Amino acid sequence: MRHFVSMQDLTEQEILLLVKQADNISIHGAQPLEKQLFAANLFFEPSTRTKMSFVVAQRRLGLNVLDFMSEVSSVTKGESIYDTIRTFESIGANLIVLRHQEANIAKKLSEMIKTPIINAGDGTGEHPTQSLLDLVTIYQEFQQFRDLKVVIAGDIKHSRVARSNAYALSTLGCKVYLTGIAEWHDDSLSYPYITMDEAVETADILMLLRIQHERHQADSILNTNDYLQQFGLTVDREKRMQKHAIIMHPAPVNRNVEIEDSLVECERSRIFKQMQNGVFARMAVIQSLLNEGGNYHEKTNHKRQ
Ligand code: CP
């Protein structure tokens, strides 16, 4: 693996190896890398979880972190993203973590840049490390993926998380369904749509999405109170979920819009567990790209961190 930009690039075996490597790190931790290496975190869109969990992952692996703020960088003088990345490459960055508003930009750049690039979310394109941490969370719950029914619910059309997860989950043999407002259906994803009521009653995993207000037109159709009642997860709907079913959400959460406030930390919610797994998933990706700790050996019967 030279870059980590799309879940579509990975085979079932490659995804499983990364999931198990991240789960192994969650139990045993990881040795710091032996060489002195530098990671550049280039975030052109806002982020809390992804950016900070990359920093924690990098520091745990002993990487030197080159922080970057586009608003006080030479991007403001018109420097292109390609030239910005080539600059970091020239001054010694060994790894580029990129979040950008343009869909598919990480893939395009990965074809021009030698230094490993990790896509930390590209517009409505993909968010593969979010997908990996979601997969780790599912694996910890169900110990496998085949035939699990996963319903991805909400703003499908504008969601890079939906795209990466739909690709990865179907590669792993899950049954993937979508639900949400018809205006936000995405014809490029060929998975069946069901109603929210069918979703809550039949899903093993209900994966809620954030409404991507920043990617909507000004004349958005949204009335947030109606949205919760018609398409969101209310307390009444949660009661109808299967006993073993879990709730996921990539966060940040619009409380009382996608999900009723009191459910964000309910027993079946894995939302903060997902964030915790974000560090382990990102450590596994960094190890794999930098060819350290690549020989994963499964170990069991140890407590998670
Ligand atoms: N889930 C996610 O990508 O969150 P941030 O935008 O805070 O990184």
pLDDT for 156-214, tens place per residue? Answer: 998 999 999 999 999 999 999 999 998 889 888 999 999 999 999 999 999 999 987 77
Tokens for 4, please give them: 């980590």
- The whole-number pLDDT of residue 299 equals 36
Span from the CA of 49 to the centroid of ligand 1 (angstroms):
5
The predicted model gives 218-228 an average pLDDT of 69
Span from the CA of 106 to the centroid of ligand 1 (angstroms):
17
Q: Which of 258, 291, 254, 300 is nearest to 140 (CA)?
A: 300
> Is the C-beta atom of 121 inside 6 A of ligand 1?
yes
- The structure tokens 């993203």 sit at 81
What is the identity of the amino acid at 137?
T
- How many Å apart are CA 240 and CA 121, to the nearest integer? 33
- How many Å apart are CA 305 and CA 294, to the nearest integer? 21
State which ligand 1 atom lies nearest to the alpha carbon of 99: 8
The predicted model gives 132-155 an average pLDDT of 98
The predicted model gives 3-32 an average pLDDT of 98
**Structural domains of the chain sorted by starting position, each given as residue range(s) with its CATH number in brackets:** 7-126+278-289 (3.40.50.1370), 128-273 (3.40.50.1370)
Span from the CA of 45 to the centroid of ligand 1 (angstroms):
10
> Is the C-beta atom of 130 inside 6 A of ligand 1?
yes
Helix (H) or strand (E) run with residue 22 in it:
helix 12-28
- The percent of residues above 70 in pLDDT, for the chain, comes to 92
What is the identity of the amino acid at 194?
I
- The whole-number pLDDT of residue 263 equals 98
- Residue-wise burial string across 217-254, b where 16 or more C-beta atoms lie within 10 A, e elsewhere: eeeeeeeeeebbeebbbbeebbeebeeebbbbbbbebb
Residue 288 has pLDDT above 70, yes or no: yes
State which ligand 1 atom lies nearest to the alpha carbon of 46: 6
φ/ψ of 178, rounded to 5, equals -125, 155
- The whole-number pLDDT of residue 94 equals 98
Residues sharing a CB contact under 8 Å with residue 294, sequence separation 6 or more, in sequence order: 287, 288
- How many Å apart are CA 164 and CA 258, to the nearest integer? 20
Helix (H) or strand (E) run with residue 163 in it:
helix 160-171
Strands 117-122 and 95-100: parallel
Sheet with 117-122: strands ordered across? 64-66, 38-43, 95-100, 117-122
Residue located nearest, by CA, to atom 4 of ligand 1: 49
Span from the CA of 230 to the centroid of ligand 1 (angstroms):
25
State which ligand 1 atom lies nearest to the alpha carbon of 250: 1
- How many Å apart are CA 134 and CA 249, to the nearest integer? 9
Residue 13 has pLDDT above 50, yes or no: yes
- The whole-number pLDDT of residue 212 equals 76
CA torsion 94-305-252-153 (nearest 10°) is 100
State which ligand 1 atom lies nearest to the alpha carbon of 121: 3
Residue 48 has pLDDT above 60, yes or no: yes
Q: What is the ipTM of this complex?
A: 0.99
- The whole-number pLDDT of residue 300 equals 34
- The whole-number pLDDT of residue 187 equals 86
**274 contacts 51 by C-beta, under 8 angstroms:** no
- How many Å apart are CA 100 and CA 105, to the nearest integer? 7
Q: For all residues of the chain together, what is the average pLDDT?
A: 92
- How many Å apart are CA 135 and CA 270, to the nearest integer? 12
- Residue-wise burial string across 10-23, b where 16 or more C-beta atoms lie within 10 A, e elsewhere: beeeebbbbbbbbb
- How many Å apart are CA 188 and CA 122, to the nearest integer? 17
Span from the CA of 166 to the centroid of ligand 1 (angstroms):
18
Ligand 1 pocket test, candidate residues 43, 44, 50, 277, most atoms within 8 A of CB? 50
Omega before 252 within 30 of 0, i.e. cis = yes
pLDDT tens sequence across 234-277: 999 999 999 999 999 999 999 999 999 999 999 999 999 999 99
Residue located nearest, by CA, to atom 3 of ligand 1: 50
> Is the C-beta atom of 50 inside 6 A of ligand 1?
yes
The predicted model gives 44-48 an average pLDDT of 96
- The structure tokens 């508003």 sit at 101
Residue 293 has pLDDT above 90, yes or no: no
